[in-house]
Amino acid sequence: MARSSTTETIEALAAEIGEAVYIDVAKWHLYLSNAHLHTVLAEQLYPMLSSKSLSEAEVTKILQNIPVKLGGGKREVPLADLLPMQCQVSLMDLLEEFQRNL
């Protein structure tokens, strides 16, 4: 039963991330849900939220370690490099709020 609850929580977190955080490419905003990156990000962030060890440095490290393929895979760029600062701030705010509600 706990597994189902954890899965549902990660899905809820992924949905919130997917709707609020976007990649900026040439002034085009591609939301993480449309880029299919919201779930992988939520899966990596959830352990921090559940253990109450959320830190901006750790979130940044996770963002740096998620590769985003560009040009059909010819190049990979860390997710952190594609998020505007405003989105990183929004992500931290979202995570802090989500953690309070756990």
Query: Residues 6 or more apart from 2 whose CB is under 8 A from it?
Result: none
Instruction: For residue 69, report the phi and psi dihedrals to the nearest 5 degrees.
Output: -80, 135
User: What is the 8-class DSSP label of residue 55?
Assistant: -
Spatial distance between the Cα atoms of 31 and 22, rounded to a whole number of angstroms: 4
pTM (whole model) above 0.85: yes
Can you give the pLDDT at residue 1?
Answer: 37
Average pLDDT per run of 10 along the chain, which is 102 residues long? 77 98 96 98 96 95 97 96 97 97 91
